[in-house]
A and B are shown apart, each in its own frame.
Chain A
Amino acid sequence: MPEIASQELRVVGFLCNWCSYGGADTAGVSRFKQPTDLRIIRVPCSGRVDPLFVVKALLNGADGVLVSGCHPRDCHYSDGNFYARRRLEMLKKLLPFLGIEEKRFHYTWVSASEGARWQQTVTDFTKRIHELGPLHAKKEVTP
């Protein structure tokens, strides 16, 4: 738990089972210190991440969304992350058009052995979301 609970923001992470989820596990096993704002959702592949997952999260209370998969060419299913890259890039360009800061959404590639890289990603992304502040400050959030 953070020192002051009210300061915690909601960051949702969609992690692929084969690389990034393993990377997050490696970071945990190695006892790397990480911010606790991130809620991880495990998906079979980054190609499973529909851009609508991200939009739904942002509209329903998340302050930031992080998607992470295997490095390009390393996908467990050989090409899932290539499709993901195209879709997520499209979404990244669309969000500012809707009036949602592009910085609230980030996608990256972390392999199962990169515990330190995962720690860095989470720390930096959470810091960035804290700089932006809550997305739903004055609005009522539907449960």
Chain B
Amino acid sequence: MISQKLQDAIAGVSDKVDVVIAYQQGFDKLHATPCFMTTPEEIKNVIWNPLCVHNLTSYLPSLKKKKVAVLAKGCDSRTILQFIQEGLINRENVTIIGIPCSGVISVNKILQAINHEPVEDVSFDEKGNITVKTSKGEKTFSLQDVCPDKCKTCRFPTPIVYDVLVGDPIESNKTYDDAYADIKEFENKPIEERLKYWEGEFDRCIRCYACRNACPMCVCQDSCIAETRDPHWISQRATLSEKFMFHMIHALHLAGRCVECGECERVCPMNIPVNKLKRKINLDMKELYNYEPGVTPEDKPPMYTFNVDEVTIKEHKI
């Protein structure tokens, strides 16, 4: 049982760290929630299943001075590498417990399918199906049908960096092109259609800033220019141009930094494809500067550096 192995792994490292960040059961069986453990007695609460969706590494920069052990899936491990590149954490203070992951579950997709009925029980079978029991009966879903879109093209099921690995490494058969196929497809649409698409999506935004708050790379947090009055980048008006501007701030501040963990889309209450803009920028970063965020610790983010002769940038003529 993987949960047991995980608890053993945590027990193995817990005496060397101040706090262990992992998952425990949330308010019902469908929800896992992050937990911060400081005593060995708490380790028995730790769970691991495809409902453990959060990117726990988001907490690391705020715990920079503490010794922390953190649970990381493949996608989460990219966040850690990006933090290292940007000097936001000290690698020696972080113990990474890696978990190979064959895909998580989008709680939103399940809730929609069961019509938001209260959940009584959740179980998983060997084939990777999830069965959700409500007062209206049982429903079984295949993992493929209820996983977030990011899992369908996941290239890093096994963490890229870890100190302890729980379980056997998983190989991915997905390529770089698979991961960005939807972006390329969108680029081929007529320009009017693209503008209409984004206006439609951003118009639904309620500016709850959940995407920003959940984003591991949004490190400004309370100093975010979306909320400062001086400079006053955007007002509190609920107009499309203000909403559009907010999403541009988010996207451009993550240029060449987004590790595509998908937290922004997971937490969006309006189902806006927030991550799409950042993935488009990442695609350009690869083309222009041959850079991919959170893959190697030695890389330098492309906006933090330059070449005197940029071979990939051609001078633009009017």
Per-residue interface assignment for chain A, residues 78 to 111, with 1 indicating a CB less than 8 Å from any chain B CB and 0 otherwise:
0100110111011111101111110000111000
Q: Give the A-binding residues of B (Cβ under 8 A).
A: 186-187, 191-199, 233, 237, 239, 241-242, 244-245, 248-249, 251-252, 255-256, 277, 280-281, 284-285, 288-289, 302-303, 306-308, 310, 313, 315-316, 318
Task: Name the CB-closest residue of A to B193.
Answer: A99
Residues from chain B with Cβ under 8 Å of A90 in the complex: 255-256, 281, 284-285, 288, 303
Which listed residue (A50, A83, A96, A128) contacts B306, Cβ 8 A? A83
Q: Give the B-binding residues of A (Cβ under 8 A).
A: 50-52, 55-56, 59-60, 72-73, 79, 82-83, 85-87, 89-94, 96-101, 106-108, 121, 124-125, 128, 141-142
Kindly state the separation between the CA atoms of A38 and B302 in the bound complex, as whole angstroms: 31
B198 touches A56 (CB 8 A): no
Residues from chain B with Cβ under 8 Å of A141 in the complex: 241
B306 touches A55 (CB 8 A): no
A83 touches B239 (CB 8 A): no
> What is the predominant secondary structure among interface residues of chain A facing chain B?
helix
Q: Give chain A nearest CB distance to B291 CB in angstroms.
A: 11
Kindly state the separation between the CA atoms of A60 and B196 in the bound complex, as whole angstroms: 17
Q: Give chain A nearest CB distance to B249 CB in angstroms.
A: 6
A55 touches B198 (CB 8 A): no
11 residue pairs A–B, Cβ–Cβ below 8 Å: A51-B255, A55-B245, A56-B233, A82-B307, A86-B303, A87-B255, A89-B310, A90-B285, A97-B187, A128-B318, A141-B241
Q: Chain A CB within 10 Å — which of B186, B198, B288, B316 has the most?
A: B316
B306 touches A85 (CB 8 A): yes
Which listed residue (A59, A72, A98, A106) contacts B308, Cβ 8 A? A72
Kindly state the separation between the CA atoms of A72 and B310 in the bound complex, as whole angstroms: 10
Task: Name the CB-closest residue of B to A127.
Answer: B318
Kindly state the separation between the CA atoms of A85 and B306 in the bound complex, as whole angstroms: 9
Q: Chain A CB within 10 Å — which of B248, B308, B310 has the most?
A: B248
A99 touches B191 (CB 8 A): yes
